[in-house]
Amino acid sequence: QSALTQPASVSGSPGQSITISCTGTSSDVGGYNSVSWYQQHPGTAPKLMIYEVSNRPSGVSNRFSGSKSGNTASLTISGLQAEDEADYFCISHRNDRRPYAFGTGTKVTVL
Amino acid sequence: QIQLQQSGPGLVKPSQTLSLTCAISGDSVSSTSAAWSWIRQSPSRGLEWLGRTYYRSKWYNDYAVSVESRITVNPDTSKNQFSLQLNSVTPEDTAVYYCARDPGQCLSCFDLWGRGTLVTVSS
Query: Residue A97: what pLDDT?
Result: 83
Angle at B11 between CA B26 and CA B48, to 5 degrees: 60
Query: Residue B65: what pLDDT?
Result: 92
Q: List CB contacts (< 8 A) between B62 and chain A.
A: 97-99
The DSSP line for B42-62 is ETTTEEEEEEEEEESSSEEEE
CB contact at 8 A, B99 and B7: no
Query: Residue A1: what pLDDT?
Result: 63
CA distance A87 to A6: 11
pLDDT exceeds cutoff 70 at B113: yes
Mean pLDDT of chain A: 96
DSSP A28: T
Q: Which residue of A has its CA nearest to B110?
A: A48
CA distance A71 to A68: 8
pLDDT exceeds cutoff 80 at A96: no
Residue A8 sits at the chain B interface (C-beta within 8 Å): no
B1-55 pLDDT, tens per residue? 899 999 999 999 999 999 999 999 999 999 999 999 999 999 999 999 999 999 9
Q: Which residue of A has its CA nearest to B50?
A: A98
Interface test with A, best of B6, B98, B108 (most A CBs within 10 A): B108
